[in-house]
Amino acid sequence: MKEMLKQKFCTVFLFLIITLIAAPVVLSSETPETGTDVSLSLSNLAVPEEIGKVQERFTGNTARTVIQIQDVHAQATAQQNIAAILERLCTVFGIEKAALEGAWVSTSLPKSHAIPTSREKQLLAGTLLEDDRISGPAYAAIMSPEPITLVGIEDETSYEKNRALFLDHLGKAKEIDGKLQTYGASLQESLKSTWGPELLSFGDAFGKFRETSDLGKFFPILLKTAAAQGAASSDLAQITLVRDIMALEKSFEKERLEKEIKQVIKKYKNRPWTLEELIRGGKIPSEELGLYPEIKKLTLLYKMRDQISLQDLTSQIETLTGRILGKLVRTPEENALWKKNERFYLARRILLLQATPADIKTYESEKLVLQSELANAGLSEALSLSLDFYELVKKRDEIFFDRLVNDPSLAGNVAIVTGGFHTDGLSQRFRDAGISYITITPEFGGTPMNEKIYNERMKENPNAGNGKRNRSTFPVPRSPFPASASADGQTLSELRNAIAWIDERFSEALQVLFQTKDVRKASKVFEGQTVSVSKAEKITRLVAEKRLRRSGGPGIVDISAFRESEFMTLTRSEQRETVQQLMEQAHRAEQKAMLVSSISVLQGMLSDPRSETRVKEILARGDVLALVQDVPLEEVPEILLVPRGIERFEVQNINQLLSETPKFQQIARKWPFAIMKEGYQSDRYVVLTEQPVSLILYRIIALNPNLYQAAKNPEFLKLLQDLVTEALAQEASRKAA
């Protein structure tokens, strides 16, 4: 019976077993406590639930830890969260390298990463990610505050052979789907006419579990059915453990838990860690935890979850299901049909390229009877093609593991991004080698992959443009039967072997976006296409390149084409007119910007009526004020308590806000920003003086990458500030007249 069921259970735990805890449990603290250790072992990693879930931990006997991130292809939310996970691993835990399936070159995309963050850069990178033109890891390498090196771990020849088999299978996919549906419909009729009511009911629940992998719904049914049929489960330790976990989770008083978490977060102030990481890392003393009964239960829950072994739990669910079937199956015909039904679903996963390593292993024990059944369904050729595909996939697993173990560039702690089949295969190899690993599944919002984009990518010519391969994607097709969106069975990741030339194409595309304001044209340039640029756009470009000066005017340039060297050749009046135009264009621009400062700074400035007016203008425009809350809440000016447009952070200083606050880092990925804080020094960011003029100047600077670079020079920034002040004075004089 175990062999009959093993084909299913090894696939269902690619996502976390049950969502056990409410959202507040993974809130991260936002203000560091002085005097505490700033380090945390990678073994204590706990991913914020809004970006993903830790599904399995294994502690080996070696010094290194591998972070496995499961790829969910052609799914923008998942790719965004893969990028966020990689960025957090880099900035919080110092993991600067990500090994990639589907690639055989290494790069940190240095040109793209070096481009200052701007709305245009974020817009282009986000659009390319959403259109599946770049992957989550590539997005992370482009947008992360710190460099991330992407290391391809493929053998090109093996990959291309595997890819060729996939494309061959893709051409036959419609025929395979049709035959499977015919076979499945006939089988379902046999089940309905042969099985008794109780077996049908359990089989239906088991079938839904097979399709959705939702153990949270199936597990209570499994236990209830076992009890009703007298199938013993007390000797199954993992079954008992999951039952106890579910009971403990139900015992939480959620409102009290949220209150306790807020108290702990406030008291311990921030490190860039989740509450779970604080607890796991021993940052909160046990005597302190004793004051919080709900968090104490939460600590117990973490320990219980760590005792879950997917392999052992799978085996014990197989055992209990077998015991139940021993009670429910009353005739040889019912038993034969159950086995045949399970073989059908095993065959379907293999034929649709959604299998796991355990499925392929189980196939060997069912090989003769399955071959006969599939031959009768006209699926022998499809089976042979699918098995050839998986044989190459397993060989690629060996290559991946060898690279991870023996390549000096991948020594130490490292992340690896692969599809589900590879994750399962590598997990077993890591266990055998005693290598610690943590497996993470990105949050994907409950939506499936974008099939329209997927189909477009499948049809693209793999060779195009200057002898280079167009970056296409080759995720495994989904079954026509209802299924949950997951990383299960995906064995060919997005084709990333061209990641090195992303660097060149991204820069070219970004320049087109600056010139045309049209992200569609920029995307086409990234794809290697030629786009038309209007005469006005060409003039702007020529002016920016100093190959042409505009006639009939003082040399005023477009905001996106600003060049410091050109600007410095203008007279003072010409500079002032240029700045005035920059101000007008910044005012008209739809994109948002952010000003980073502190409550105390703005509190001191609000005595000037101009400051209050400009703060209101900032909020009315939809820009963001990110403020260090360095004064008691009751002393915060009323204007700074509004719920929209102001983000307050309980951190001690700007440094901690920038580098140790995940929520701020998430916001900063969306909106370009400048800092207003006298005495703060930075080679990376523009720092403005604490004057009313800065409440206008931040937006002009933040929305223009070239101007932003120039404004890092204090002398140039002072000139710019004076010119804005003069321009404002002239405007006030005209209004008064």
- Three-class secondary structure of residue 54 per DSSP: strand
Does position 289 have pLDDT exceeding 90, yes or no?
no
**Is 427 among the domain residues?**
no
φ and ψ at residue 339, rounded to 5 degrees: -65, -40
Q: How far apart are CA 49 and CA 47, in angstroms?
A: 6
Asked whether residue 501 carries a pLDDT value surpassing 90, the answer given is no
Cα separation, 613 vs 617, in Å, equals 6
The SS3 call for residue 467 is coil
| Range 199-225 average pLDDT | 86
Q: Is residue 673 part of a domain?
A: yes
Q: Which tens digits make up the pLDDT trace of 354-405?
A: 888 888 999 999 999 999 999 999 999 999 999 999 999 999 999 999 999 9
Residue that is last in its domain, among 359, 388, 417: 388
pLDDT tier for residue 412 given thresholds of 50, 70 and 90: very high
Residue 645 included in any domain: yes
The pLDDT score that the predictor gives to residue 644 is 78
pTM: 0.66
pLDDT of residue 3: 36
Structure-token match 């992303």, residue found: 502
* CA-angle at 193, arms to 188 and 199, nearest 5°: 80
Question: Which ranges of 307-331 does DSSP label H, i.e. alpha helix?
Answer: 310-328
Query: How far apart (Å, rounded) are the C-alpha atoms in residues 581 and 561?
Result: 12
153 in a structural domain: no
Percent helix, strand, coil in the chain, to 5, is: 60, 10, 35
Percent of the chain with pLDDT over 70: 82
Distance CA 294, CA 261 (A): 9
| Residue 262 in domain | yes
526-571 tens-digit pLDDT = 988 888 766 566 555 555 544 444 444 434 444 455 777 778 878 8
pLDDT of 85 strictly over 90: yes
Tokens for 673, please give them: 């920003």
The total number of structural domains in the chain stands at 2
pLDDT reported for residue 11 = 34
Identify whether the C-beta of residue 310 lies closer than 8 Å to the C-beta of residue 56. Answer: yes
pLDDT in tens, 698-721: 999 998 888 888 899 899 999 999
Q: Is the pLDDT of residue 497 over 80?
A: no
Residues 6+ apart with CB under 8 A from 39: none
Q: Which amino acid is at 111?
A: K
Structural domain range at position 641: 573-736
> Does position 481 have pLDDT exceeding 70, yes or no?
no
Q: Report yes or no on 522 lying in a domain.
A: no
- Among 100, 25, 84, 422, which Cα is nearest to 252's? 25
What average pLDDT does this structure show over 573-580? 86
Q: Mind listing the pLDDT tens digit for each residue in 247-277? A: 999 999 999 999 998 888 777 765 678 888 8
Distance of CA 576 to the CA centre of its chain: 44
Residue 475 lies in a domain: no
Sole residue written with tokens 């494309």:
167
Radius of gyration of the chain (CA): 29
CA distances from 131 to 158, 316, 472 (A): 27, 42, 11
Looking at residue 449, what is its pLDDT?
Answer: 56
Residue 21: is its pLDDT beyond 80? no
- Contact (CB, 8 A) for 418 and 82: no
Residue 177 lies in a domain: yes
CA 35/CA 257 separation, integer angstroms: 27
CA contacts within 13 A on the Cβ side of 380: 8
Could you say which DSSP state residue 341 is in?
H
State which of 341, 370, 388 marks the end of a domain.
Answer: 388
Which position has the token pair 């031959």? 375
Last residue of a domain, one of 388, 422, 457: 388
Q: Per residue in 640-673, pLDDT tens?
A: 887 678 988 888 889 889 888 888 888 888 889 9
